[in-house]
């Protein structure tokens, strides 16, 4: 049986869905359609050794505008017609929009639209966003008369909002909580009371990830607890429209232990060295890095927003804080700085919680059930 995943970038597939791809490829004929720009020979060999066939499709460039959309869509249509998969998974909101159009006109396939996060797409009043919502709503409503499709969400909040905006109806939606966490790679670390106290933020250095709030909180706490190490891992890309300013980045480097953009293969070590994981994001589909942090036995401090709240059993394996509330963030971090026993017990609870609800075994079985 032919199964196909459509993903914008290979790096995203490798960091988020490789284990799932391996699982499916061990049972079915598996094809990945993605941009292979920057792929290494080692990565090619690894994919081939796991029976993952890869077809190159150059990702859509933002500078191309609407022309880029049509170019990408036409190329994707040709590839799908030639490879003729039985099941197609379109990963992300934008690719789901392309998939909805192709599903209406290519026919003969079962399509799954993986909504990995809505962000500001359904609430922004920006003209381009409003126009995209209108187009996507029309395409999605054209699917109503078809039976062979399903929208998959990572959290209930995104699912509810999607339905409220008339993007789909409930019986054509399902929740699968993320991509799965490999507990053999992100192993539990038995931390000790005399270990260095490291507070870790790991995400792209963009405003929506809450990096400003983390830096502000760390400044307050560093004065009171000079022995605590505040560490930031993540890509700084000044060309990203959402990126923090150069001035703020320089300020970050002066006050925080900035370790740069960590390779995914090195993330287990980075997490193992930490004591607490922080992600004060403004909204997520489901933050995989937080789940991986929890798997290693870290207490989590996340914002009380869609996606993030799914990762926490509040007060048991961490704390939820209010969005953009630096005082609340300072308060919750300080609790874990002061109470070593609570920090260690919450870390153990994190591992148990992630293993129960987000392990590869749990998540992969949900996907396998879709294509039986």
What is the secondary structure of 43-95 as a DSSP string?
A: HHHHHHHTTEEEEE-PPPPGGGHHHHHHHHHHHHHHHHHHH--SEEEEESHHH
Domain count, the chain: 2
Domain that holds residue 173: 2-181+359-370
pLDDT at 51: 97
Using 50, 70 and 90 to split pLDDT, how confident is the model at 343?
Answer: very high
**187 domain-assigned:** no
Query: Does 130 lie in the same domain as 246?
Result: no
Contact 155, 286 (CB under 8 A): yes
Using 50, 70 and 90 to split pLDDT, how confident is the model at 123?
Answer: low
Query: Does 227 lie in the same domain as 124?
Result: no
Query: Does 61 lie in the same domain as 207?
Result: no
Q: How far apart are CA 233 and CA 337, in angstroms?
A: 20
pLDDT at 139: 84
**193 domain-assigned:** no
Confidence check: pLDDT of 302 > 90: yes
- Greatest Cα pair distance, the chain, in angstroms, is 64
pTM of the model: 0.89
Q: Degrees (nearest 5) of the Cα angle 6, 3, 62?
A: 5
In the chain, pLDDT over 90 holds for what percent of residues? 76
Query: Does 303 lie in the same domain as 170?
Result: no
Confidence check: pLDDT of 356 > 70: yes
Mean local confidence (pLDDT), 322-342? 98
Using 50, 70 and 90 to split pLDDT, how confident is the model at 137?
Answer: confident
pLDDT in tens, 183-198: 999 999 999 999 999 9
pLDDT-wise least confident of 72-81, 129-138, 194-203: 129-138
Query: Does 153 lie in the same domain as 21?
Result: yes
Query: Does 74 lie in the same domain as 126?
Result: yes
pLDDT at 120: 63
The first and second tokens of residue 348, run together, are 């153990």
Query: Does 118 lie in the same domain as 208?
Result: no
pLDDT-wise least confident of 39-48, 93-102, 295-304: 93-102
Query: Does 350 lie in the same domain as 225?
Result: yes
Query: Does 145 lie in the same domain as 38?
Result: yes
**Residue 11: count of CB within 10 angstroms of its CB:** 16
Using 50, 70 and 90 to split pLDDT, how confident is the model at 122?
Answer: low
pLDDT in tens, 17-43: 999 999 999 999 999 999 999 899 999
Contact 317, 294 (CB under 8 A): yes
Compute the Cα dihedral for 51, 55, 61, 62 and give only its sign.
Answer: negative
| Average pLDDT value over all residues in the chain | 92
**189 domain-assigned:** no
pLDDT at 66: 79
Mean local confidence (pLDDT), 40-54? 97
Query: Does 207 lie in the same domain as 158?
Result: no
pLDDT in tens, 237-259: 998 888 999 988 988 888 899 99
pLDDT at 145: 73
pLDDT in tens, 171-183: 999 999 999 999 9
**128 domain-assigned:** yes
**Residue 60: count of CB within 10 angstroms of its CB:** 22
Query: Does 288 lie in the same domain as 227?
Result: yes
* β pairing state of 257-258 and 229-233: parallel
**14 domain-assigned:** yes
For residue 126, the domain's CATH number is 3.40.50.2000
Mean local confidence (pLDDT), 274-289? 95
**282 domain-assigned:** yes
Query: Does 207 lie in the same domain as 319?
Result: yes
Confidence check: pLDDT of 366 > 90: yes
**192 domain-assigned:** no
Confidence check: pLDDT of 107 > 70: no
**113 domain-assigned:** yes
């Amino acid at each position: 049986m032919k199964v196909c995943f459509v993903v914008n970038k290979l790096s995203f597939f490798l960091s988020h869905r490789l284990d799932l791809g391996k699982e499916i490829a061990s049972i079915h004929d598996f094809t990945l359609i993605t941009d292979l720009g920057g792929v290494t020979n080692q990565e090619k060999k690894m994919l081939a050794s796991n029976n993952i066939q890869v077809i190159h499709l150059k990702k859509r460039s933002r500078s191309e505008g609407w022309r880029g959309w049509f170019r990408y869509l036409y190329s994707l249509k040709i590839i799908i017609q030639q490879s003729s998969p039985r099941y197609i998974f379109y990963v992300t909101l934008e690719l789901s929009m392309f998939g909805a159009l192709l599903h209406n006109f290519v026919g003969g396939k079962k399509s799954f639209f993986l909504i990995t996060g809505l962000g500001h797409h359904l609430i922004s009043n920006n003209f381009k966003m409003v126009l995209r919502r209108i187009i996507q709503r029309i395409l999605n409503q054209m699917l109503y008369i078809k039976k062979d499709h399903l929208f998959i969400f990572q959290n209930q909040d995104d699912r509810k909002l999607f339905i409220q905006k008339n993007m789909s109806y409930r019986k054509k939606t399902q929740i699968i909580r993320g991509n799965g966490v490999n507990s053999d790679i992100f192993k539990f670390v038995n931390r000790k009371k005399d270990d260095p106290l490291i507070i870790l933020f790991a995400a792209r250095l963009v405003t929506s990830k809450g990096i400003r709030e983390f830096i502000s909180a760390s400044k307050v706490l560093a004065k009171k607890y000079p022995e605590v190490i505040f560490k930031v891992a993540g890509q700084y890309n000044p060309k990203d429209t959402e990126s923090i300013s150069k001035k703020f980045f320089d300020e970050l480097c002066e006050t925080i232990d900035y370790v740069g953009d960590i390779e995914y293969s090195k993330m287990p070590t980075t997490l193992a060295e930490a004591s607490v994981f922080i992600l004060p994001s403004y909204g997520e589909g489901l933050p995989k890095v937080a789940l991986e942090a929890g798997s290693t036995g870290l207490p989590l401090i996340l914002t009380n927003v869609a996606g993030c709240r799914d990762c926490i059993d509040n007060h048991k394996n961490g704390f939820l804080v209010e969005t953009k509330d630096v005082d609340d963030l300072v308060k919750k971090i300080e609790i874990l700085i002061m109470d070593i026993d609570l920090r260690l017990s919450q870390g153990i609870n994190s591992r148990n919680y992630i293993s129960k609800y987000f392990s590869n075994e749990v998540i992969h079985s949900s996907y396998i059930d879709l294509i039986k």
